[in-house]
């Protein structure tokens, strides 16, 4: 049946309009509705990494909300897909395989912890997915020849450098280093021992631990070593448990430093007055007198959204969103190789400071801070130019 002339004219005009649009926007096939940019990751929302992972999730969700309120990226909204890896390497690896094959995400972020990041990298590397790591810093991650992994943290081997520098100034020379049996913690410990030697400090005890349920015996071993300073390389639970064991045996060194745990409000909530004088390294703090662009605004929005103080884990996750956003915009594409090349070559600013990596993808532009609990609050005590209080030694 022949169609009316008016119908044919409308169809002809419609086809011409479609052809013009295809020339204008470079569309060679059928025009499809733009879907969201899907970015996937796993976090240990249950298990031993839950405190830090919850903060990372909150930071990423805040970034997702805010980037979408500004129109998204490349004209598309952003959808962050997060699964609970239960702080388990095997679960995380399986979930990343699903993110790539079933969810068909456009891009990925790294999970929390160096141990779990190490487990998923063979999956992402094989499939050509660039991984921006905002929850891991073990040096060994960038010593395996991977081409698609990029760091945001100061490498683990340098976590305690600022603290060691302060020990030299205080003439505190005899130290003990104890460390958990995981990739991140062993890298902090070995790096700290090397830097301590360079500073002329004496490591009188260097010992690993596996069982985090009872640190009393380890505390007594540290006391018997007759050291002035104890450096604990581990995660949240270890920092809390060893501090309580020191209290139990009635001994405290001139200085107590622990990684990860003391940077979090949960550390204070758990220990109350026993947090006093504890040192740690932090990748971000809102307290610094010369904050990075957007630092204070991030803090205000986070507290408003979640009714709690953000730890550096939340801030660095949010910053990873900013960095990936910048890489995609500069690449002008979601093509993963183009995004990978941009992450490898660009420099950028975020709420945690400068981003820039070496040829292996290891972070070289960012530096960490040293914090100390004083009078029930965290203070930045190193570097001097950013400090909010002078360090206190017993």
Ordered structural domains, the chain, with CATH: 37-154+293-355 (3.40.50.2300), 158-282+369-386 (3.40.50.2300)
With a cut of 70, say whether residue 53 has pLDDT above it: yes
For tokens 């956003």, the residue is: 325
Beta bridge partners of 357: 363
Comparing 31 with 373, the larger pLDDT belongs to 373
Distance CA(54)–CA(46), nearest Å, equals: 9
Answer yes or no: is pLDDT of 68 > 80: yes
What integer is the mean pLDDT of 33-40?
86
CA dihedral 238, 240, 242, 246 (to 10 degrees): 170
**Which residues are CB-neighbours of 93 under 8 A, at least 6 positions away?**
119, 120, 123
* 279-282 and 369-374 beta bridge pairing: antiparallel
pTM of the model: 0.88
Find all residues with CB under 8 Å of 99, minimum gap 6, and list them: 40, 41, 42, 81, 83, 105, 108
Q: Which of 28, 302, 319 shows the shortest CA–CA distance to 151? A: 319
Split at pLDDT 50, 70, 90, the class of 50 is: very high
Q: Is 71 helix (H, G, I), strand (E, B) or coil?
A: coil
What would the pLDDT profile of 343-374 be if each residue is shown by its tens digit? 999 999 999 999 999 999 999 999 999 999 99
Mean pLDDT value of segment 3-9: 42
Supply angle C-alpha 193, 194, 197, rounded to 5: 85
Q: Which two tokens stand for residue 94?
A: 């399986």
**Are 323 and 132 in contact, with CB atoms under 8 Å apart?**
yes
| pLDDT over 70 (residue 289) | no
Of the candidates 247, 180, 250, which has an alpha carbon nearest to the alpha carbon of residue 212? 180
Angle 190-192-194 (CA atoms, 0-180°, nearest 5)? 70
Instruction: For 175-224, write each residue's pLDDT tens digit.
Output: 999 999 999 999 999 999 999 999 999 999 999 998 666 899 999 999 99
In this structure, are residues 103 and 38 in contact, taking their beta carbons and an 8 Å threshold? yes
| Residue 27 confidence (pLDDT) above 60 | no
When pLDDT is averaged across residues 129-157 and rounded to a whole number, the result is 97
Predicted pLDDT at 210: 87
Contacting residues for 125 by C-beta, under 8 A, at least 6 apart: 146, 147, 148, 149
Handedness of CA 138, 139, 144, 146 (dihedral sign): positive
> What pLDDT, on a 0 to 100 scale, did the predictor assign at position 26?
40
Average pLDDT over residues 153-162: 97
């Amino acid at each position: 049946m022949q169609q009316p002339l008016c119908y044919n004219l409308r169809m002809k005009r419609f086809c011409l309009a479609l052809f013009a649009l295809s020339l204008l926007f470079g569309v060679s096939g059928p025009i499809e509705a733009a879907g969201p940019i899907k970015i996937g990751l796993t976090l240990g929302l249950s298990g031993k990494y839950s405190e830090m992972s919850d903060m990372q999730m909150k930071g990423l969700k805040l970034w997702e909300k805010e980037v979408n309120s500004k129109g998204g990226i490349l004209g598309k909204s952003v959808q962050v897909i997060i699964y609970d890896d239960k702080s388990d390497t095997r679960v995380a690896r399986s979930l990343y395989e699903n993110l790539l094959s079933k969810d068909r995400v456009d891009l990925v972020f790294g999970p929390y912890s160096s141990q779990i990041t190490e487990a998923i990298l063979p999956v992402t590397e094989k499939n050509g997915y660039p991984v921006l790591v905002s929850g891991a810093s073990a040096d060994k991650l960038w010593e395996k020849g991977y081409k698609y992994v990029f760091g945001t943290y100061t490498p683990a081997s340098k976590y305690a450098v600022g603290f060691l520098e302060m020990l030299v100034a205080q003439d505190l020379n005899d130290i003990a280093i104890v460390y958990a049996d995981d990739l991140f913690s062993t890298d902090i410990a070995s790096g700290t021992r090397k830097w301590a030697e360079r500073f002329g400090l004496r490591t009188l005890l260097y010992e690993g631990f596996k069982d985090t349920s009872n640190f009393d015996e380890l505390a007594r071993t540290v006391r018997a070593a007759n050291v002035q300073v104890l450096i604990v390389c581990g995660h949240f639970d270890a920092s809390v448990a060893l501090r309580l064991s020191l209290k139990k045996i009635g001994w405290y060194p001139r200085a107590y430093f622990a990684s990860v745990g003391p940077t979090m409000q949960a550390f204070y909530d758990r220990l109350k007055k026993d947090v006093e004088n504890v040192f740690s390294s932090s990748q971000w703090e809102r307290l610094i007198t010369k904050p990075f662009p957007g630092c204070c605004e991030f803090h205000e929005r986070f507290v408003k959204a979640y009714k709690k103080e953000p730890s550096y884990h939340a801030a660095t996750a949010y910053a990873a969103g900013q960095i990936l956003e910048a890489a995609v915009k500069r690449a002008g594409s979601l093509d993963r190789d183009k995004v990978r090349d941009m992450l490898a070559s660009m420099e950028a600013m975020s709420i945690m400071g400068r981003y820039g990596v070496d040829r292996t993808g290891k972070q070289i532009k960012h530096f960490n801070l040293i914090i100390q609990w004083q009078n029930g609050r965290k203070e930045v005590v190193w570097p001097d130019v950013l400090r909010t209080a002078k360090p206190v030694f017993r």
